[in-house]
Amino acid sequence: MKLLTGSILSEDKVMRKLTPLHGDFLAYCVDDWTGLWLLVKRIKPLHSSTDADKIQAHALEIIRDLIEAGYIMAGDVDFGLGKFRQWNLSVDKIIGRIEQEWIELGRDPTICEIVWFVSTTEGDYAFASGQFPETPSTE
């Protein structure tokens, strides 16, 4: 994986542009532990309400892009200890685990369900250096 300003060059040499949505989600991860539910909330307005499969696929694509770029980590939060525990899995296994748990859940995740994300040092730097186009707020 080679990081280019504003783009991700994947192992199969397909370049994907880092979108405002990538930057929007990364901003949340820079600020705090961020749940999958928040990404789903940001994606839903971009799809019809009946496109659950497309919403899931879009979310998993954003997650994959940001993990492959080294910008975020996936894991669990132990709220009692106030600690983030990174999943020590390959990107494919992380995406597979999220997808499987989402399917088993049978609906969109809400707060504290499935997975949490936090930015890495590289993600903090990428966000601070403005590598992402700005996203207008939908709130």
pLDDT confidence of 81, banded at 50, 70, 90?
A: very high
Q: Does some domain include residue 135? A: no
Mean pLDDT over each residue of the chain, to the nearest integer: 86
138 domain-assigned? no
Encoded amino acid at 15, one letter: M
Contact 57, 46 (CB under 8 A): no
pLDDT digits over 33-48, tens only? 999 999 999 999 988 7
- Is there a domain that residue 139 lies in? no
What local confidence, expressed as pLDDT, does residue 17 receive?
Answer: 75
**What CA–CA distance (Å, rounded) separates 72 from 61?**
13
Q: At what angle do helices 91-105 and 52-68 cross, to 10 degrees?
A: 160
pLDDT digits (tens, 9 = 90+) for 6-17: 554 444 433 467
Residue 70: the pLDDT is: 96
Query: Is 136 a member of any domain?
Result: no
Pairing of strands 72-78, 7-9: unpaired
Domain presence at residue 133: no
Kindly state whether residue 31 falls inside one of the protein's structural domains. yes
Tell me which of 115 and 51 has the higher pLDDT: 115
Q: How many domains does the chain have?
A: 1
On the question of pLDDT at 135 being above 90, the answer is no
The pTM of this model reads: 0.84
| Angle (deg, nearest 10), helices 20-31 and 121-128 | 120
Q: Beta strands of the chain (E only): which ranges?
A: 2-4, 7-9, 15-17, 34-35, 72-78, 83-86, 116-119
| 77 is a domain residue | yes
pLDDT computed for residue 16 by the predictor: 60
Q: Which domain holds residue 80?
A: 2-128
Tell me if 52 is assigned to some domain: yes
Within a 10 A sphere around the Cβ of 69, how many other Cβ atoms? 25
pLDDT higher than threshold 60 for residue 105? yes
Average pLDDT over residues 12-36: 84
